[in-house]
Amino acid sequence: MEEKEEIPSHIFDRYRSINKFEFHPNIVRTKNIIRDGVDVLIKKNKLLWTNSNYDKGYIHNEGLIVWGVEFLYFKKLDNDTTYKLYILTQDITKVEMLIFGLNKYFTIDKI
């Protein structure tokens, strides 16, 4: 499973410990998202941790956001403006609202 290898194992451990689940969550890999989309997610939700640089503002390299009981793991790609976004969830139907809300921040790439 490609996504499982791209997401660090400590993310799964944290997910299970906070949500009291014994099993791995479902993983939804979205299209790449621009920096503004990550900033919106951080402002409207709880940021658990991030690996960031500061240059006239935070540039997040990767991080973990809590959206309800769902986890959003993001990781910056080679350029400064695009991120991979993974949604970890037990209920796949709950993420449709999130994806619809983020639609304007997705890039025109393939998953």
CA atoms of 16 and 18, how far apart (whole Å): 6
Q: How many CB atoms lie within 10 A of CB 16?
A: 14
**Helices 35-44 and 95-102 sit at what angle, rounded to 10 degrees?**
130
What are the pLDDT tens digits along the chain (111 aa)?
454 478 998 888 888 888 877 777 889 998 899 999 999 999 999 999 988 877 777 788 899 999 988 999 999 987 768 999 999 998 888 888 888 889 899 987 655
What b-and-e string marks burial along 39-62, b requiring 16 or more CB atoms within 10 Å of the CB? eebbeeeeeeeeeeeeeeeeebeb
